Amino acid sequence: MEPVNLAVIYYSATGTVHALAQAVAEGAEKAGARVRLRKVAETASAEAISAQPAWAGHVADTADIAEAGHDDLEWADAVLFGTPTRFGNPASRLREFMEGAGPLWFQGRLADKVYSAFTASNTAHGGQESTLLALANTFYHWGGIIVPPGYTDPVQFRSGNPYGTSHVAGDGPPGEVTLQAARHQARRVVETAAALKAGRAA
């Protein structure tokens, strides 16, 4: 059987969600998937970005990563979306990308794919769960199959979020427990998508 096509589509301003996205991609590749790691377009002005060194540095550091296109959604059997939380919601750049996929949704070309999500907030209780739940609302409308990590691996009892991998950026870069959780989430998504793909082919 053909391997699972998995797209990791994320927005990251200063690098935290990017680090999670890289771990997700690693986990998916180790599980046998073909992976596309894609960032959504940065729409903030150059002036706004340059005024914050961490933001400007991250933009420069990730210049070689391809930007997400809606063809990545069509190609994928499964998609993991990553975003920082903005007042308990996904970042506007990711929302804009997802809302732009309306024509694909209307044609039914986003249905029956596996979806999952990960996030980061600056503080504990900073809206991580509500951000992931808000993304799930879109997956429902698309007719997607939502696969959360749940408590399906020992690392989940240490990382603590059954909705999706999350990190408190104010504590510093993601540590090994969080990165393990991201890899586990990706593996679970790939395994579920593979089972669906095999079932449809049978």
pLDDT tens digits for range 159-184: 999 999 999 999 999 999 999 999 99
* Dihedral-angle region of residue 31 (phi above 0 means left; psi in -120 to 50 means alpha; beta otherwise): alpha
> Under a CB-based contact definition with an 8 Å cutoff, are residues 39 and 18 in contact?
yes
Instruction: Tell me the residue length of the chain.
Output: 202
Tell me the pTM.
0.97
SS3 assignment for 59-102: HHHCCCCCECCHHHHHHCCEEEEEEEEECCEECHHHHHHHHCCH
Q: Residue 1: what pLDDT?
A: 81
Q: Select from 3.40.50.2000, 3.40.50.360, 1.10.10.10, 3.40.250.10 the CATH code of 5-201.
A: 3.40.50.360
pLDDT tens digits for range 57-80: 999 999 999 999 999 999 999 999
Give me the residue spans of the domains in the chain: 5-201
